[in-house]
Amino acid sequence: MNAFFAAIEERDNPQFVGRPIIVGADPKKGVGRGVVSTGNYKAREYGIHSGMPISWAYRACPEGVFLPCDFKRYGSVSRNIFSVIRGYGYPTEQVSVDECYVEMPNCAGFENLAREMKQKIWEVERLTCSVGIGPNKLVSKVASNFKKPDGLTIVLKKDVQRFLDPMSVRVLPGVGPKTAGVLLSMGVITVKDLRQTYLYKLKEQFGKHGAHLWELANGRDDRKVFESHEVKSVGRQTTFWKDTKDPRIIYDTTLGLLRETFEELTGLGIFGKTLTVVVRYAWFETHTSQETSKGLLTFQEARRLGLKLLVPYFNNKLVRLVGVRVSGFGGGGVRSHSPEEGVSGAATSLV
């Protein structure tokens, strides 16, 4: 879906149409804690993006419309949309409240099918979505972001490299501002540059992640579409504007992400038992720690566990990214309710 939370707010509050809309924590006139959940396309013109500290967003656009998250409403809209998509009967892997992969049929009419899905979503919820069709998850995901909002991009297998090559390396999953900065220092700007870089150089710089980046640059992704009817995990992560070793900054940021996560869980009507904390150091070494409670996690319990899991990382080492994820929804966690030319086995990403 396109700027999902902000799009719902703009749809339901027509007086805000045309203005920057930022959904997230209370900015408190620039001194608030917490992060941006999403901003509409007007807000993005000011450099505002998901995961940004809300205080920075306020400084960037004090005249913007700042709204609290209403995850109950967003969850209801999400369920309606996925009901439309699953109504077609094709394997659907839901990866978040507003994104999924669909295994498309081997037929000549897959473009018309995608357009029909978009139209039905519009009729049901008056919201637009962007669709990417490609031979694997990577290509379909990049294609879905190629034309926003309300886009439809189809990439045949024979055209994958021609499609990816001229793009910035930032389109590849796992390439954020800092990774892109390191690649730039190596003379790598585009996907083609990355593809033509010697693999050993990428491994020297990034370790295993370097090999993964090289595979992505070559358009390779062997992940399958696994049919799922519920979100398997809900979480947030953010990259610090400047690497930090300050325990207070690390904890406060993680707590803000955790609060956002629980607000979304509440809106979706699901609660999990497992909390995972993700910490990535300045040199790209990533660690995850998790703990599972006997019962469904409350925010207070998750806050306690989060601090416990974070303490080992208060070690005077520079941290570039933190994240949290809640999973383990099964068993009572829900309180409510070979790809040939571009078609066979193609993955469709709807976002």
Binding residues for Mg(2+): 98
DSSP codes joined into one string, 267-303: HHTB--SEEEEEEEETTS-EEEEEEE-SSPPPHHHHH
Number of H helices, E strands in the chain: 13, 12
CB 68 within 8 A of CB 38: no
CB 261 within 8 A of CB 236: yes
Nearest-CA neighbor of 206 among 217, 220, 192?
A: 217
Q: Is 67 left (phi over 0), alpha (psi -120 to 50) or beta?
A: beta
CA distances from residue 287 to 208, 283, 321 in whole angstroms, order as listed? 14, 12, 10
By DSSP bridging, strand 347-350 and strand 99-103 are antiparallel
- Give the angle subtended at the CA of 149 by the CAs of 162 and 6, to the nearest 5°: 140
Give the residue numbers of the binding site: 98
Q: What is the set of active-site residues?
A: 99
Q: How many residues does the chain have?
A: 351
CA 14/CA 18 separation, integer angstroms: 9
Strands across the sheet with 152-154, in order? 92-96, 99-103, 347-350, 131-134, 152-154
Nearest-CA neighbor of 142 among 167, 171, 108?
A: 171
CB 179 within 8 A of CB 188: no
